[in-house]
């Protein structure tokens, strides 16, 4: 009797590709990416499943072999800072997945104010893709030409959970031993910042009791490049994005005049009615080199968020607002609708 | 794409340098820093 395959351990390695869709060699000594849980992996779909339609006598005809395996990985992770002054070698531990998700990185290493900032990138060339290998249950799942999108959420004082939804050209799963990751993981003592002292600025409003938030980059990245000259699958072409943030805050007194907010009052209904552009900034963590913030626009003070939906809600007897804002570019041509900053 | 700020200049890091790893990126930064410093010195003269 063969031994059982267990679902107890996992590992991910990923690296930016030099050439789109060409597998780059991965090393357990450098390319580990720490996940927060098992990935949701689906390698079952093909761009063409080989179906040939109906048989004259009823039933369906025998299939030809399928073409173009789709590799899909939903990768949960935490945004852990570098833990030391940022440099070429000290990067946020989300660096690879952020870049695979269509964010360009800008770094500065001026002593004492080092940072990495991530902002949307749309091409037309130079987009970052990854080769990823995910190990689970004694098997290896590899995809190349991986592009992703990002989301992040937290409900209550917990560690915000990020998700990278990666799509690429899948290969047939194989049996493989779990690699021993010795590079790419943070030290076990380096913990992610919790959402327990979140600093939210919405318009002029800064005194809110924040219950949770959901950020979604909403980057389109599922347009498959079908081909009939090599394997059926040439990868994907990322499209546009429509970043949003839904923030759940306890209700406060309504601001009665434009700009519809003060430090202690807020009127999200009027903000939506007016279509005003406002500041939207949310910071998690306070410790230098292990904190991050996400904000609309090219700076945390930019007026580049618009309230697009307000829902009244409640938690027991406590009244809440679920406020959805969209992040907007500062001009018709710039790609600067939001940034994620680690400093 | 990876960029690095050298002074006020946002310099793109070539992909082949980027994927070569941190040591290559640091070497690129050192080279760009020297270039910017040389250009500044030349402008002062």
Per-position pLDDT tens, chain A of length 343:
778 888 899 999 999 999 999 999 999 999 999 999 999 999 999 999 999 999 999 999 999 999 999 999 999 999 999 999 999 999 999 999 999 999 999 999 999 999 999 999 988 888 999 999 999 999 999 999 999 999 999 999 999 999 999 999 999 999 999 999 999 999 999 999 999 999 999 999 999 999 999 999 999 999 999 999 988 999 999 999 999 999 999 999 999 999 999 999 999 999 999 999 999 999 999 999 999 999 999 999 999 999 999 999 999 999 999 999 999 999 999 999 999 999 9
Q: Residue B35 belongs to what domain range?
A: 2-44
Return the residue of B nearest to A104 by Cα: B1
Q: Which two tokens stand for residue A191?
A: 């913990």
Return the residue of A nearest to B26 by Cα: A88
H or E element: which one contains B31? helix B22-44
Mean pLDDT on B8-24: 94
Is the CB of residue A27 less than 8 Å away from at least one CB of chain B? no
What's the confidence (pLDDT) of residue A13? Answer: 98
The answer to whether the CB atoms of B18 and A109 lie below 8 A apart is no
What's the confidence (pLDDT) of residue B8? Answer: 87
Phi and psi for B39 in degrees, rounded to 5?
-65, -40
Return the residue of B nearest to A16 by Cα: B19
Q: Which residue from A24, A87, A121 is facing B19, i.e. has the nearest CB?
A: A24
Q: Identify the three-state secondary structure at position A280.
A: strand
User: How many Å apart are CA A108 and CA B4, to the nearest integer?
Assistant: 6
What's the confidence (pLDDT) of residue A73? Answer: 98
> What are the b/e assignments for A109-121, b being 16+ CB within 10 Å?
beeeebbbbbbbb
What's the confidence (pLDDT) of residue A139? Answer: 97
User: How many Å apart are CA A166 and CA A178, to the nearest integer?
Assistant: 21
Q: Which residues of A touch B14 (CB under 8 A)?
A: none
Is the CB of residue A107 less than 8 Å away from at least one CB of chain B? yes
Q: What dihedral angle (degrees, nearest 10) is formed by the CA atoms of A189, A133, A101, A234?
A: 170
Return the residue of B nearest to A122 by Cα: B1
Number of domains in chain B: 1
What's the confidence (pLDDT) of residue A4? Answer: 87
What's the confidence (pLDDT) of residue A5? Answer: 87
Q: Which residue from A89, A106, A109 is facing B3, i.e. has the nearest CB?
A: A106
Q: Which two tokens stand for residue A232?
A: 């059926």
User: How many Å apart are CA A341 and CA A81, to the nearest integer?
Assistant: 10
Is the CB of residue A122 less than 8 Å away from at least one CB of chain B? no
The answer to whether the CB atoms of B22 and A88 lie below 8 A apart is yes
Q: Which residue from A17, A24, A105 is facing B2, i.e. has the nearest CB?
A: A105
The answer to whether the CB atoms of B3 and A105 lie below 8 A apart is yes
What's the confidence (pLDDT) of residue A221? Answer: 94
Q: Which residues of A touch B5 (CB under 8 A)?
A: 106-108, 110
What's the confidence (pLDDT) of residue A126? Answer: 82
């Amino acid at each position: 009797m063969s031994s059982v395959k267990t679902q107890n351990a996992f590992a991910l390695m990923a690296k930016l590709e030099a050439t789109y869709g060409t597998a780059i060699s991965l090393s357990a000594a450098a390319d580990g990416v720490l996940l927060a849980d098992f990935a949701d992996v689906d390698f079952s779909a093909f761009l063409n499943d080989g179906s040939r339609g109906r048989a004259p006598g009823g039933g369906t005809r025998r299939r030809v072999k399928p073409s173009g395996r789709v590799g899909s990985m939903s990768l949960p992770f935490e945004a852990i800072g570098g833990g030391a002054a940022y440099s070429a070698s000290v990067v946020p531990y989300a660096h690879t997945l952020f870049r695979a998700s269509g964010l360009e990185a800008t770094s500065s290493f001026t002593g004492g104010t080092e940072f990495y900032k991530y902002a949307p990138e749309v091409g037309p060339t130079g987009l970052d893709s990854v080769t990823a290998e995910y190990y689970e249950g004694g098997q290896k799942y590899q995809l190349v030409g991986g592009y992703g999108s990002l989301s992040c959420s937290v409900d209550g004082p917990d560690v915000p959970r990020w998700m990278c939804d990666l799509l690429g050209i899948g290969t047939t799963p194989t049996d493989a031993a779990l690699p021993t990751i010795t590079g790419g993981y943070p030290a076990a003592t380096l913990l992610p910042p919790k959402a327990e002292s979140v600093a939210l600025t919405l318009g002029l409003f800064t005194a809110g009791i924040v219950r949770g938030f959901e950020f979604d980059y909403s980057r389109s990245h599922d347009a498959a490049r079908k081909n009939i000259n090599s394997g059926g699958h040439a990868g994907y072409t990322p499209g546009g994005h429509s970043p949003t943030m839904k923030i759940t805050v306890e209700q406060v007194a309504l601001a009665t005049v434009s700009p519809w907010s003060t430090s202690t009052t807020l009127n999200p209904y009027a903000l939506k009615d007016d279509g005003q552009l406002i500041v939207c900034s949310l910071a998690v963590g306070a410790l230098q080199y292990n904190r991050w913030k996400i904000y609309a626009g090219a700076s945390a003070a930019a007026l580049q968020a618009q309230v697009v939906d307000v829902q009244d809600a409640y938690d027991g007897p406590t009244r809440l607002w679920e406020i959805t804002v969209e992040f907007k570019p500062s001009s018709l041509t710039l790609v600067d609708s939001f940034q994620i900053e680690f400093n | 794409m990876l960029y690095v700020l050298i002074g006020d200049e946002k310099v793109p890091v070539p992909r082949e340098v980027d994927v070569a790893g941190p040591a290559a990126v640091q070497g690129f930064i050192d080279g760009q820093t020297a270039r910017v410093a040389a250009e500044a010195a030349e402008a002062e003269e």
